[in-house]
Amino acid sequence: MIPYGWQNIDQADIAAVVEVLQSDWLTQGPMIERFEQAIAQRCGAQYGVAVCNATAGLHLACLAAGLGEGDWLWTSPISFVASANCGRYCGAGVDFVDIDAHTWTIDAEALAVKLEQAARDGRLPKVVVAVAFAGQSADMRSIAALARQYGFTLIEDAAHAVGAHYAGAPVGCGEFADMTVFSFHPVKIITTAEGGMVLTNRADLEQRLRLLRSHGITRDAGQMTDESHGAWYYQQLELGFNYRITDLQAALGLSQLTRLDAFLERRRELAARYQRLLAHLPVSVQAPQKDAESAWHLFVVRLQRDRIPRSHREVFDGMRAAGVGVNLHYIPIHLQPYYRDLGFNQGDFPQAESYYAEALSLPMYPDLTDAQQDHVVESLRRLLELSVGGADD
Ligand SMILES: *Cc1c(COP(=O)(O)O)cnc(C)c1O
């Protein structure tokens, strides 16, 4: 079975991890800071705070933004559940803004309309999580302008978008988002097994992220409420968590980072090839977002249902039967039982729901070969019953 995503681990990665295993530090050693600085520097951000996964990063970012009970977090319904759950972890209410029909990222115009209404109702969000879907940023310029107008903190969930660009600058540089969160899960662009990072240019946010990452404990005398008792002394200032990453993981991440450009290059190549090979099939691909340059974490197609003889589910199952490990990113978050229990219903976000009825993630990872990709496209072509004369290549 050709998987939809797969990590690329080489001998240098393995050697980097083994070296840490043989060193004095397995966790909280020098590799974490090196990894943080390397990612921050690559993205043009002041600060990087590495965490045990992006879900923890989103949680900390929300806490650093001051999100709490009585507040609201808004995000896109087409994302992984973590983009919304981070608000619930803080005791805040979660609401959604529908996706744009073509870019499949949060619809900035729908956001503007909803904000206007929320301002009248006194229910403005404190945080908006804009997801860089499939590796492509949302309309961050417009959303950042709304953030300034309405005073919310803008977090970019860039779990898919390590190495992506927006407005000519790396995602994570902080020109538009207050904080950017990366994931280093194995299916994402580079991996630390589990892992994530929050990038920001604001020293106040960085300090809170670091404090909350490690139990709310400080060893910095300058932060303490009174005199230190001695060299052993630390103080817990807030209720924090153990969301730390390890040196083993940071070493893996640093080693992976040396191949990031090669990974991105191959993903771009595969995406361009998919676009060419699929051009004559009854499917739609993600529309380019103005100013955005995708990292191509996912390659999603939408079936043009009225032009094909099979159901969405039949095509999905048929691809799996043909040895192609397609997937579906994502089930609209508001339709999950947990969110339905909070009052959401079918019909609340029609663009997200019609996306869900048509979407299919095709295999996309650097080691996917052209021959495998040809098999993916040919399998899809057969299922759409256009095997004769349907394409010119
Ligand atoms: C993978 C993912 C996350 C969570 O990342 P973890 O590192 O697995 O916690 C969050 N948001 C999006 C959009 C993701 O795809």
How crowded is the C-beta side of 218, counted as CA atoms within 13 Å? 15
Distance from Cα 284 to the centre of ligand 1, integer Å:
25
Residue intervals in the chain for CATH 3.40.640.10: 11-257
Q: Are 338 and 348 in contact (CB under 8 A)?
A: no
CA distances from 265 to 92, 233, 261, 268 (A): 40, 49, 6, 5
Does ligand 1 have an atom closer than 6 angstroms to the CB of 158?
Answer: no
Q: Are 339 and 333 in contact (CB under 8 A)?
A: yes
**CA 105, CA 93: separation in Å to the nearest integer?**
21
> Residue 126's closest CA among 70, 62, 71?
71
The pLDDT value given to residue 385: 80
Does ligand 1 have an atom closer than 6 angstroms to the CB of 80?
Answer: yes
Q: Coil, strand, or helix at residue 209?
A: helix
pLDDT at 319 over 80: yes
Chain segment 47-81, per-residue pLDDT in tens: 999 999 999 999 999 999 999 999 999 999 999 99
Q: To which H or E segment does residue 302 belong?
A: strand 299-303
The pLDDT value given to residue 331: 98
In ligand 1, the atom with minimum distance to the C-alpha of 188 is 1
The residue-averaged pLDDT of 335-339 equals 98
Q: Hey, what CATH class is 11-257 in?
A: alpha beta
Report which residue type is found at 249: Q
The pLDDT value given to residue 390: 45
The residue-averaged pLDDT of 182-200 equals 98
pLDDT at 388 over 50: no
pLDDT at 22 over 60: yes
**CA 291, CA 139: separation in Å to the nearest integer?**
8
The pLDDT value given to residue 171: 98
pLDDT at 389 over 70: no
Residue intervals in the chain for CATH 3.90.1150.10: 260-384
In ligand 1, the atom with minimum distance to the C-alpha of 160 is 15
In ligand 1, the atom with minimum distance to the C-alpha of 133 is 13
pLDDT-above-70 percentage for the chain = 98
114, 126, 188, 290: which one is catalytic? Answer: 188
pTM (whole model) above 0.85: yes
Mention every residue, 6+ apart, whose C-beta is less than 8 A from residue 181: 54, 57, 58, 61, 155, 156, 157, 158, 159, 196, 197, 198, 199
Average pLDDT along the chain = 96
Does ligand 1 have an atom closer than 6 angstroms to the CB of 187?
Answer: no
The residue-averaged pLDDT of 196-218 equals 98
The pLDDT value given to residue 386: 57
The pLDDT value given to residue 387: 43
**CA 353, CA 330: separation in Å to the nearest integer?**
10
Chain segment 233-274, per-residue pLDDT in tens: 999 999 999 999 999 999 999 999 999 999 999 999 999 999
The tokens describing 234, both together, are 């630390």
pLDDT-above-90 percentage for the chain = 97
Q: Note the residue count of the chain.
A: 393
Q: The domain 260-384: what is its CATH number?
A: 3.90.1150.10
The pLDDT value given to residue 373: 98
CB atoms under 10 Å from CB of 281, counted, come to 20
Catalytic site residue 188?
A: yes
The residue-averaged pLDDT of 313-320 equals 98
Q: To which H or E segment does residue 43 belong?
A: helix 30-43
In a mutational test of the pocket of ligand 1, which residue from 4, 7, 52, 55 has the highest number of ligand atoms less than 8 Å from its CB?
Answer: 55
